[in-house]
Amino acid sequence: MKLKRFLTTFIAGASLFTVSNTNPVFAGSCENAPEVGTVFKSTGPGTWKIMATVRAPLTSTNERRVAFGFKKLGLKAEAALASFVDRNVKNGQNLTEGDKAKFVVNENDEMTEDSLEGFEEFLDTYSSSTEALLVGLEEIGSCHTLGEEIRLTKGINSENAVAANDMRNQNYGGGSNTNNLNSPSNTIRRDLNKGYSGYGRLEDF
């Protein structure tokens, strides 16, 4: 009887061990990435962020295809930001409150009266000088859900816009290389057997 109880206990324990160790472990994915789209986020008096997130389906794990996919997403995100600035900043005074409510949020991703007021203050400063905005754009993060999709986010914030504008006005180095205040870091993982999430600095952007 003792031997029978021992074998039963051993088999049950082994079964639990097997079940708990057969679940796949993913290094990362796009599960916690921002939603696709462009938003204006009011973060306080005189501070703000504009972020454009784009995605593409991707089933291949070929390194060159993944790299090319991210390159295309980078261009797509820049185009989304340029379109946003042209449509909602240059012509911001013509937007209704309902129009603004579609893309204006606060730090908690909620549309509030304060966030709308923040956008109005932003328009007062930048609606007639939108070229200063795109100078300061940078890559915020990217991710890869293996066999499913890739996403990438680029953005502009109030701090970078001011710094980029100052650099342009002072023309440091005598050149015109001011398109990106901060060059995007290459966060694409070379281990293509795993997904990854590269949005570690999203909250600090």
- CA torsion sign for 178, 185, 200, 73 is positive
Tell whether 7 is covered by a domain. no
User: What is the pTM (predicted TM-score) of this model?
Assistant: 0.76
- DSSP SS3 for 118: helix
CB distance 48 to 155 below 8 Å:
no
Tell whether 107 is covered by a domain. yes
pLDDT digits (tens, 9 = 90+) for 6-32: 444 444 444 433 333 333 334 579 999
Range of the domain at 56: 27-197
Tell whether 16 is covered by a domain. no
For residue 78, count other CB atoms closer than 10 A to its CB. 18
Average pLDDT for 183-187: 47
Q: Which of 50, 136, 126 is nearest to 93 (CA)?
A: 126
Average pLDDT for 48-55: 97
Binning pLDDT at 50, 70 and 90, where does residue 38 land? very high
Q: Supply the pLDDT for residue 168.
A: 64
Average pLDDT for 107-116: 94
Instruction: Provide the number of structural domains found in the chain.
Output: 1
Tell whether 181 is covered by a domain. yes
Tell whether 145 is covered by a domain. yes
Binning pLDDT at 50, 70 and 90, where does residue 129 land? confident
pLDDT digits (tens, 9 = 90+) for 69-99: 999 999 999 999 999 999 999 999 899 999 9
Helices vs strands, H then E, count in the chain: 6, 6
